[in-house]
Chain A
Amino acid sequence: MGRIRLSVGLVCLALATSVARAAPPPKASPPPDDVATLAARIDRLIETGYVENSVEPAPLADDAEFIRRVYLDLAGHIPRVSEVHKFLDDKATNKRLALVEELLKGPHYVNHFTNVWRALLLPQNNNQQVQFLAGQIEGWVRPRLRDNKPYDQMVRELLTAPVVFNRGGMPQRNGTDFGAIAFYQANESKPENVAAATSRLFLGIKLECAQCHNHPFARWSRKQFWEYAAFFSGIRPQQAQAGVFSQVLDDPTKREIKIPNSDKTVTAHFLDGKEPKWKDGASTRATLAEWMTAGDNPFFAKAIANRLWGHFFGLGIIDPVDDFGEANPPSHPQLLDELGQAMVKHKFDMRFMIRAITASRTYQRTSRMTDSSQEDPRLFARMPLKGLTAEQIFDSLALATGYRDPQANSAGGFNRFNGARAEFLLKFANNSDKRTEYQTSILQALSLMNGTFIANATSLDRSETLAGLLDAPFMNNRQRLDALHLAALGRPMHAREADRLLSYVERGGPSGDKRRALADVFWTLLNSSEFIFNH
């Protein structure tokens, strides 16, 4: 309790006395050339698009906008007031690059991307029971992200993972095994489900339509779907009725599958028409993994590059990101090609791509629309507004309000099924793929307006952040308002809103009570679009 007040107080003290703290510029090393080169290339190709479409791009975001954006994108939550202050004060010329480095090294980056990959690896909520596997999937993803395992290796490990528990005795207590098995269980240990999932996730190809008939829009035939599914033909559930809880069985060298409702059997074939070279002793899935993650695979590298792009921009160069095909052409085909080549060249190091993207001017443009020519989001003339995941919303609210979960364990893990965070995750789960078209529901609005969490956070008695602010005697109301804005939005008040808000507080709102008026402003900030979106 005291710590929060103290840190809020210190920040406000610094503001109040307007001392430009001479923080020594951090000794960030000059950016590796490849990052700068690729970033410049991104900008070059995007800017060609501006010229061709007579677009006037938005200016670059200021530091406050940038730090909030990059924290949300990399760490999954807004920055603390102290972190904002430190960044705004920093005089180093490449501080934005340095910030990215700092975030990439931190545990929150690992947490956030673990959440991102878990959401991708688990089929979205069509089967409630699947959510029970979430913990295992996360247990598989987390160490790999932490150790920055190359992406192609991760995919190979997942595709070739042993899925059978030890015979008779307890299953291996090794988290790795459980996690990969959970992926197969989540797909009900059915070859066609695993096929559709892996194709969508790792190749960016939605094959589902072709499962039952020739794909109506793309070129995939039913036969091709099942020839791809044949790579997983060895997988089957031990007890089909047990659904996702069934143990998984495997016949590692099986590579034929019968097309349902027909008497045709097909053999495993690659999607690009290449013939598999079956090696003695190599499992069917290993053969697939080798083809899929090869540098010359026409889909693999571009798919991950595009997915990462989509993460940072809210929409991919091909969008939706898992729907490569003639009906869905890339907005910047050459850029996508080069991003794919860069992934291969850098051995599928995801952090490299993240560095390059975030170093680009394109990523750093403001989200404010300064010219009507910026309207088409596919030209990336300004940063699109991005919806937040439920985790991002809650974790950001918790930071802004000084909330500490009584059930959080020492490792920072949260109870998945109970407590404020779990309730929140349920209410704010958003199944929509289009983060740039995030939809808010009435219940969500009510929850933020009147729900217990925000009520506590804006209550004069129960909120630590508010209490810290109101008790600091050396601050005037303008400074208090700035502090609230910093906590919630990562910026001080704009000049244009300062007078209005100050007069509201000075007259004490509708009841003549200045403390209540400040609480009102805090409530407003937490309910605003500016809070709830990544911009």
Chain B
Amino acid sequence: MTYPKLSRRDWLRLSAAGVMGSSMSGWLETLAADTAANPKRKRACILLWMTGGPSQMDTFDLKPGHANGGPFKEIKTSAPDLRISEYLPKLARFGDRLAVVRSMSTKEGEHGRATFLMRTGYQPTGPIQYPTLGSLVSRELGAEDAPLPNFVSIGPYRFFNAAAYGPGFLGPQYAPLIVGDGNQFFGQQGRGYEQALKVQDIELPGGVERVHADARIELLQEMESDFISNHPGIAPLSHKTAYDRAVKLMKTEANRAFNLDEEPPILRDAYGRNLFGQGCLLARRLVERGVPFVEVTLARVPGNNAFGWDTHQQNFQAVRRLSEVLDPAWGTLMEDLKQRGLLDSTLIVWMGEFGRTPKINNGKGRDHYPNAWSTVLAGGGIKGGQAFGKTSADGTKVETRPIAVSDFLATICLALGIDPLKQNNSNVGRPIRIADKNAQPIKEIVA
């Protein structure tokens, strides 16, 4: 994709001169507004996915003093107008880089459907295989011949909705490389993440020496070129490409991205010695090496009875433990990215499938609540230090600017320099936009 290089001033001048037609989509306007960042700099996105539906009332939209508020206190952040939960102190130091969206309002309250909705922007009706955000974004931002896969998913919990983690109609070449597949590690008490965060099957099996592995690849290449010359077409070509990329991943330096023991122990401690913490560290390493989309899932915290953020009971105890994993990981991630000069070009998205009920139930828990909840955007492309949208004093209703999933995803696109209205060909033959055409991105929080 080639972008015309316009500064905001140029754009305004040309627009006034009538050069710009009114048929331009809002995208061009965005790019022109994006003067601070160099259009050539490769952007990246890290999605922090909170399985189960994180409680907004106990993280980013507290209501201290109200009966619904619960015992958590608010603390100040580095931004004067923004306060968040007391159990997110490391993150609070980056308040000036956070934009909290408090007026999320969606319609799905069931895990499977809501997961699909938030991760694809569409409801899971019928046969259209909508792609997940990572596939859409990595397709736009990634290079075809990159040594590492352009979309990596760390520790996903896919049981609620496997299709919400897949490339859908974009096809398998846009599927994520998955490490630490959440299903298997559900029973782990926090240990075993070391092994989990490696690419499966990237190592030669025991008993096969390197020389034989190389010889095999050579034999295979000879066989393949013979087959392809007689059977030209997409399918064998895709096969060859996948193998070439897999071999590249095995052989080149690229695979070292997954060697976390290259990192100083003190840094690994700071992220937190658990799947999510080390997963965030891995995300930083991947982004550093040019991967445009990495998602890290927080689905389990050792010692918690609740499943992930699905805190129907004992909400406060559980959310505190979850925050004690989330905060060091995310806080250190922000710091780490900043020190490496990557924070300005890396967008961080924090969300789950819905929020939780303001009213506390009999089990000291909170139940599913999509009517009014919070998400957070941080880092590159974002005007931080603010909370966008307001909920009522009791937390039950959105008072200003309700944000639907399409609005939110369009905002993400804008921050990454992607056209949310771009169409892709779906499996039913109908072109599908990245975000719904009526989406209203939150321009106020995009830099």
Tell me the A residues contacting B by CB distance below 8 Å. Answer: 123-129, 193, 196, 200, 206, 208-209, 211, 216-217, 241, 243, 320, 323, 327-328, 367-369, 375, 384-385, 387, 430-433, 436-447, 449-452, 455, 459, 461, 496-497, 500-501, 504, 509-511, 516, 520-521, 523-525, 527-530, 532-533, 535
Contacts and interface: CB of A to CB of B under 8 A. Distances in A.
Contacts, number: 212
B246 A524 contact: no
Contact of B126 (A123, A327, A521): A123
Contacts of B223: 497, 524-525, 528, 530
Contacts of B175: 441, 443
Interface in B221-257: 222-224, 226-228, 230-236, 238-243, 245-247, 249-250
Contact of A196 (B126, B178, B227, B230): B126
A527 B217 CA distance: 10
Interface residues on B, range: 35 or more
Contact of B430 (A209, A516, A527, A532): A209
A369 B242 contact: no
A127 B220 contact: no
B220 A527 contact: yes
A129 B160 CA distance: 8
Nearest to A206: B428
B202 interface: yes
Interface string B157-188: 01111110010110111010110000000000
Contacts of B113: 127
B205 A455 contact: yes
B127 A124 contact: yes
A459 B428 contact: no
A217 B112 contact: no
Q: Which of B124, B158, B205, B247 has the most CB of A within 10 A?
A: B205
Nearest to B244: A445
**What 8 pairs across the A-B complex have the smallest Cβ distances?**
A455-B205, A445-B246, A440-B242, A439-B172, A446-B201, A510-B211, A441-B172, A126-B124
A81 B56 CA distance: 62
Contacts of B242: 439-442, 444-445
B429 interface: yes
A496 B126 CA distance: 50
A523 B215 CA distance: 11
B216 A443 contact: no
Nearest to A209: B430
A323 B430 CA distance: 11
A449 B116 contact: no
Contacts of A200: 127
A328 B428 CA distance: 11
Contacts of A443: 175, 177-178, 200-201
Contacts of A523: 216
B204 A385 contact: no
A209 B126 CA distance: 10
A145 to B, nearest CB: 23
B199 interface: yes
7 contacts: A123-B126, A126-B125, A126-B129, A432-B172, A441-B173, A442-B242, A443-B177
A385 B129 CA distance: 23
B203 interface: yes
A235 to B, nearest CB: 16
A503 B211 CA distance: 17
A320 B427 CA distance: 9
A212 to B, nearest CB: 10
Contacts of A208: 125-128, 428
B212 interface: yes
A294 B235 CA distance: 39
A266 B211 CA distance: 71
Contacts of A444: 172, 242
A450 B160 contact: no
A307 B55 CA distance: 48
Interface in B79-126: 110, 112-113, 116, 124-126
A447 B129 contact: no
Contact of B202 (A206, A241, A375, A450): A450
Nearest to A520: B216
Nearest to B158: A128
B249 A442 contact: yes
Interface string B323-363: 00000000000000000000000000000000000000000
Given A320-B427, A438-B235, A450-B203, 18 more contacts: A123-B127, A124-B163, A126-B161, A320-B428, A368-B230, A385-B231, A439-B171, A439-B234, A443-B200, A446-B250, A449-B250, A451-B201, A455-B208, A511-B209, A511-B212, A520-B212, A524-B216, A528-B227
B219 A384 contact: no
Given A440-B239, A510-B215, A516-B212, A447 B201 contact: yes
Contacts of B247: 449
Contacts of B18: none
Q: Which of A127, A387, A440, A496 has the most CB of B within 10 A?
A: A440
B207 A385 contact: no
Nearest to B171: A439
Given A440-B242, A443-B178, A445-B246, A452 B205 contact: yes
A442 B234 contact: no
Contacts of B231: 367-369, 385, 529, 533, 535
Nearest to B204: A450
B214 interface: yes
Nearest to A127: B112
Contacts of B272: none
B129 A431 contact: yes
A243 B220 CA distance: 47
A375 B125 CA distance: 36
B149 interface: yes
A218 to B, nearest CB: 10
Contacts of A436: 233-235
Contacts of A125: 129, 162-163, 166
A127 B159 CA distance: 9
Nearest to A322: B127
Given A128-B159, A206-B428, A450-B204, A437 B215 contact: no
Interface string B276-288: 0000000000000
A449 B166 CA distance: 22
B205 A440 contact: no
Contact of A193 (B126, B215, B250): B126
